[in-house]
Structure 1
């Protein structure tokens, strides 16, 4: 268990979708997976830095027709084996910065995240969350690679990294205690705690319908999926964990 003196982290996972919270600033990463224009539009106005990975160029170009000129990213990265040359040239002509990242030891998402963190530091930007859209659709191996990037992100930045689409979100909770604010109105009915990176020896929660009390979570035994919120908990969930733990929940778009 974590000690009583351990740092408590406050997190509002869907602050990026909260229309009432105009002060939230994000860095946005668009991945090469199916996109929802509704989610993208909600995030675009909060983004102080907008980045696109490789084939995400095609996704962004196609979903924003016929108003593509109003959706110009700041940064495009990747090895460019997926991006249409014509679409890539379109964004180059609109002054998007294009950086080739050929290293095959990392995914396009991880390489883009590395550059986004660097740009945030260079430009001294205020960023509350780094949000990646298009993280869950398509191939299962790519979904798992995106979750792995959450683990890699722990060595890159202290800014929370959020995976998002129009039905789900996920983020990684660090060891210690996290207070999750889940009252933006965008939360769906379900939530879960998944020990993707290995066994979590001690997990204690409040604010859920089925809470954990100093219990281990591990694959082949107990994992907390298909959980939901305690409606009497005033929109607060606490999670105290001995090891990094994946938090995921439903997203409700209008």
Structure 2
């Protein structure tokens, strides 16, 4: 049984989204992300947000198609629409959470959405952000397996102040028990030398950014 939640939010969206949505996914639309789902033939299981980026007519369309709609006052709320959707997803204890449209022209929102991944990894729930050029996830203590894909470059950046014991196997540029600190670019633009490679972390939280031009 598929127990994955896909959150579609209001950043960059397009036809590239379609291959990532699979039958059985639970679809959550945050604000304009809900409108995107509805306009592209999907039925959101939940649409939520203050909906300040859609017209009243578009909100009525979202309400009519979505299985459930929750609206929030744009002033009297502590979280962004994306964080509201993400926290809802965490409460469902899914096998995985993936965010689409979580990157866009507003860098503050994009960075805040990346930080949301920490909430999931703290609960042991795999989570990622995907757009047409990147897929972003986190690695913490332990070993993660990475596979060759359309995202040819793999960059590692510390999310915590320091990440220690970083070991890469199966990469063009291997590392052994390396330490990365905020302000270093040592981990940028690595490439897998084999179909699969491993990333091991001893302490800290590491951003894993798989990219293509």
Aligned mate of 1:166, from 112, 117, 132: 132
1:71 counterpart = 2:51: no
Q: Distance in 1 between matches of 2:211 and 2:173?
A: 16
Partner of 2:143: 177
Distance 1:104 1:175, change over 3 A: farther
Q: Distance in 2 between matches of 1:187 and 1:239?
A: 22
Q: Distance in 1 between matches of 2:183 and 2:116?
A: 23
CA-to-partner distance for each residue in 1:188-232, whole Å, 9 max, x for gaps?
2211111023211331111211122111111233540111111xx
1:211 counterpart = 2:184: no
The 5-angstrom pairing of residues 1-254 of structure 1 reads 26-38=4-16, 40-61=17-38, 64=40, 70-102=41-73, 104-118=77-91, 120-121=92-93, 127-155=94-122, 157-180=123-146, 182-183=147-148, 186-230=149-193, 233-250=194-211
1:146 Cα deviation from its structure 2 partner: 0.9
1:95 Cα deviation from its structure 2 partner: 4.2
Describe the SS at the equivalent of 2:189: strand
Instruction: Mark the runs of 5 or more structure 2 residues left unpaired by the alignment.
Output: none
1:61 Cα deviation from its structure 2 partner: 4.6
Distance 1:223 1:76, change over 3 A: farther
Distance 1:245 1:115, change over 3 A: same
Q: Paired residues, what number?
A: 211
Structure with more relative contact order (C-alpha pairs < 8 Å, separation 6 or more): 1
Instruction: Mark the runs of 5 or more structure 1 residues left unpaired by the alignment.
Output: 1-22, 65-69, 122-126
Q: Which deviates further from its counterpart, 165-174 or 76-85?
A: 76-85
Describe the SS at the equivalent of 2:153: strand
**Mapped contact 2:38–2:62 kept (Cα < 8 A):** no
1:168 Cα deviation from its structure 2 partner: 0.6
Distance 1:237 1:84, change over 3 A: farther
CA-to-partner distance for each residue in 1:36-95, whole Å, 9 max, x for gaps?
213x22122244210011122344455x2xxxxx31211011122223321221121224
Q: What is the TM-score normalised by the length of structure 1?
A: 0.74
Q: Distance in 2 between matches of 1:54 and 1:111?
A: 10
Q: What is the TM-score normalised by the length of structure 2?
A: 0.87
Distance 1:95 1:215, change over 3 A: closer
